[in-house]
Amino acid sequence: MRVNPFLLTFRSTVTEGHFLGEVAKLRWPVLMFVFLFDCVCFTFRIAAKLANRSGGADGAQACTQPMEIAREMGHQLANMGMLYILLGLLNRRARRSGDAAARQEEVLLSAVMALAISNLLASLRADNAQDYVYMSYFLIATTTFLKIRWWVGTGLLAAPMIAAHIRHGSPAAAAAVAAAARAVAGGAPWELPWRALSAEWMLGGAADGAGAGAGAGGGAGILPPDAVVHITVAWAVGGLMSYLSDWYRRQMYAHARLAAAAHAKELTEARARVAAERGLAAAQQQAAQRALSIAREKAANEAKSEFMSLMWVTSS
């Protein structure tokens, strides 16, 4: 049950695999809660859009507003559904297939959350710059809330934090990185099925802002001055929280295993003691029966001896 103090992994690979399998089973209710929370938030967003757009619209426009909102947010709903179906299948595989699948699930969950946070970072504009607070919240809570090993989650979530530094920290650095990203593709925009995997998609806005001049500040002018510092602190706090959570979770698991082993040992000793007492009682019963049989045989022999003595006296 010894644990590596830095990586927080059990020395025994069997124990580590069993622990990851147990954590994967505990992750299922968390994913269900997150899914229900997203559904409620999505419902409120649709209701808010309907309320805002139908306020000053006439009858004909009011009838077409729901269809327009459905077209605008339908792809978001489809993406959310596909995402949670994928997460559900991954968790089901992790719960049934053992520690290797649980390790893969942790990496994929962290990668998906890193892409989602990067998507939020790339969507920041002047009118929604305060949404970086949500990015900070996700950096703090993701690894701890989803019960991911601290170094896996913190390491993968460092990607959006570094992207925030590059895009919104220094306009010159953002322009250089974006130019390098375009140079890799030969100067043409990258055409990937998933643009979230493109460095140009994450950093392209910085090059445009940098080209507009240092006065505009490029991507760095969108966020408040200390936003990048806040994001970095949020990532560090998330790593510390996940480390402590992982430590206490492993300690609880180790103590539970030790308590179960002690209980099993005590139960085995009690069963052995009961079996020994039953064996002793059976041996004592057999000894009593043997003593009774010997006493009866002795009494019979004495009776025979007395009878023979009486017959000899009578005959003489």
- Beta bridge pairs of residue 10: 3
Are the C-beta atoms of 205 and 154 separated by less than 8 Å?
Answer: no
Are the C-beta atoms of 206 and 166 separated by less than 8 Å?
Answer: yes
Q: Is 236 left (phi over 0), alpha (psi -120 to 50) or beta?
A: alpha
Q: 72: exposed, middle or buried (C-beta count within 10 Å: 0-12, 13-18, 19+)?
A: exposed
Confidence of residue 111 (pLDDT cuts 50, 70, 90): very high
* Cα gap 89→21, rounded to integer Å: 15
DSSP 3: B
The pLDDT of residue 70 is above 80:
no
3-class secondary-structure state, position 8? coil
What percent of the chain clears pLDDT 90, i.e. is strictly above it?
A: 43
| Torsion 202-205-211-216 (CA) sign | negative
> Residue ranges of the domains in the chain?
3-53+66-184+224-266
Mean pLDDT on 287-316 = 87
Confidence of residue 97 (pLDDT cuts 50, 70, 90): confident
Where is mean pLDDT largest: 28-42, 43-57, 187-201? 28-42
Look at residue 313 in the predicted model and tell me its pLDDT.
Answer: 79
User: Dihedral, CA atoms, 289, 294, 297, 298, nearest 10 degrees?
Assistant: -140
DSSP 10: B
* Cα gap 57→38, rounded to integer Å: 29
Are the C-beta atoms of 126 and 224 separated by less than 8 Å?
Answer: no
Q: 162: exposed, middle or buried (C-beta count within 10 Å: 0-12, 13-18, 19+)?
A: middle
Confidence of residue 263 (pLDDT cuts 50, 70, 90): very high
* 179-207 pLDDT per residue, tens: 665 665 454 444 333 343 444 444 444 44
Mean pLDDT on 285-305 = 91
Are the C-beta atoms of 49 and 78 separated by less than 8 Å?
Answer: no
The pLDDT of residue 252 is above 60:
yes
Instruction: Report the chain's mean pLDDT, rounded to a whole number.
Output: 81
Look at residue 222 in the predicted model and tell me its pLDDT.
Answer: 82
